[in-house]
Amino acid sequence: MTSATHIDLYQLTSMVEHHAAGLTDTPVTMAFFSRALPKSPHDGSPVRAWLLWAGLQRALDHLEHARFSEQDLDALQAHAALGPPLRAQPDLVQRLRDWRFTGRVRAPREGSLLYAGQAVRRDGTLLDVDGVRPAAYCPYLEVETDLLSAKLIETPLLSVINHMTMVSTKAAQVVRAARSLGDRAVLEFGQRRTHIEAAVDGALAAYIAGCAATSNVAAHVRHGVPMSGTMDHFAIQAWEKPGVPRWETERAFFASFAERFAGVDVLLVDTYDTYGEQTGIRNAVRATKGGPYGIRIDSGITRENLFRARQILDEEGALRTKIFVSGGMDEHAILALGDAPVDGYGVGERIVTSPDAPVGVGAVGKLSMVGGRPTMKLSRGSGKATLPGRLQVWRSDDGDLVGLADESHPGEPLLHEVWGADGRLPAPPWREVRAHALQSLDALPADRHAPQQVRVPVTDALAALVEAQVRSAG
């Protein structure tokens, strides 16, 4: 069971009003989407060319398992502001007690590239209706359910979407940089820089985006994400003994570790002196009689130092020993190192916190149908207008076209049912999700990877519906 209390208070306070008015069973459609691609928090310039969709199955996990416990309901009824009106409607409390998500959910395949930006007509002109300029997008999710359920799922689904898609999109940038320099792996090492549960989702999102493995044991156990790791400075320091030189205890630990993990022994060489005559790289080679599988350098990562490291390995006879680096890596640092002799990168905080776009992907959830009728948020002059109706998006070589679900147009329809009348549909294994993501990224022309602002065309029928919605609002 997952607690259904991962919501904002205003969803419950407004729910009380809707229930009192007899509206909580009203059928609604809610779309979850980004209005635009992420921008720099510093100057507002584009920092992404696309979004790599991750979080679908985790979102469906929440829909499947979310419940209110008796302790949850007791706490809500005891709240100073919420409690009195909630207790006054015991039938609403019972609804919450019995609540299970039902409805229909459509979504693009997880691992798909998604776009969002200003809506334009088929001829390329801006869709501007009396000052209302809606964004156009492919929804991450389009959910048909009752009003009560829509209120209870909005916040947790946005939490999943914003976090996992942020991480996967950033990780894809890092992986792409590493792959551009040859067959160089990226390992995700970020769990110490985020919440323990966010770290598991982050490791999964990074794997979808192409990271070869994670250090996160929980992500491996829960989701089967390949797991890889080396050793820590702690281990080497803990091997110290009074009266024994540190180079000797370091070598002793290297020797013991390499014997126990023969063939996968990657030795951390910068605890004392990476390039010393008796410590670090030389010590690792001498302790292992020909060199370990690999060494990891976690500090002082420069081109000069990496060529120096390779030279020492070769001089010591460790011609096959690989070099892995970690500490402050991201796509920019990887490209700056260029052809330096690196076989793989450990990337942590700069994937899981995505510092150049750290506030998610701007995903929001908005109603597009209420009681069977289209609706849209107008927000005149704010740039936050949304699209009405149930949507479909068709993808072709010319790009995306956004329209209404009952239309038919050339191209591949992106939205497919993932939760139907009988519940959740089977999901592909994670390796297939990852393969789809990598195939989607590889299929893009090089110029489509540059950060950009995009405009997304909409069909004539959808444009007409927007016009009707705006004008009916007066």
Please tell me the predicted confidence (pLDDT) of residue 381.
Answer: 76
3-state helix, strand, coil in the chain (%, to 5): 40, 20, 40
DSSP 382-428: TT-----S-EEEEEETTEEEEEETT---SSEE--EEEEETTEEPP--
B/e letters for 170-204, b = 16+ CB within 10 Å, e = fewer, are bbbbbbbbbbeeeebbbbbbbbeebeeebbbbbbb
Number of domains in the chain: 1
- Indicate whether 11 belongs to any domain: yes
Please tell me the predicted confidence (pLDDT) of residue 158.
Answer: 98
- Indicate whether 31 belongs to any domain: yes
Tell me, what CATH number does 427's domain have?
3.20.140.10
pLDDT at 375 over 90: yes
- Predicted confidence band of residue 126 (pLDDT cuts 50, 70, 90): very high
- Indicate whether 182 belongs to any domain: no
- Indicate whether 156 belongs to any domain: yes
- Indicate whether 25 belongs to any domain: yes
- Predicted confidence band of residue 385 (pLDDT cuts 50, 70, 90): very high
pLDDT at 41 over 90: no
Please tell me the predicted confidence (pLDDT) of residue 413.
Answer: 98
Please tell me the predicted confidence (pLDDT) of residue 289.
Answer: 85
* Percent of all residues in the chain with a pLDDT value above 70, rounded to a whole number: 100
- Indicate whether 123 belongs to any domain: yes
Task: Quickly tell me which residue has 């919605």 as its tokens.
Answer: 469
Task: Quickly tell me which residue has 């195939």 as its tokens.
Answer: 439
Please tell me the predicted confidence (pLDDT) of residue 363.
Answer: 97
Lowest mean pLDDT segment, chosen from 39-43, 349-353, 359-363: 39-43
Q: What is the mean pLDDT of residues 20-37?
A: 97
Q: What is the mean pLDDT of the chain?
A: 96
* Percent of all residues in the chain with a pLDDT value above 90, rounded to a whole number: 95
Full domain range(s) for residue 397: 2-167+357-472
Dihedral through CA 342, CA 212, CA 234, CA 308, nearest 10? 0
Q: What is the mean pLDDT of residues 114-131?
A: 96
- Indicate whether 447 belongs to any domain: yes
- Indicate whether 427 belongs to any domain: yes
CB 445 within 8 Å of CB 388: no
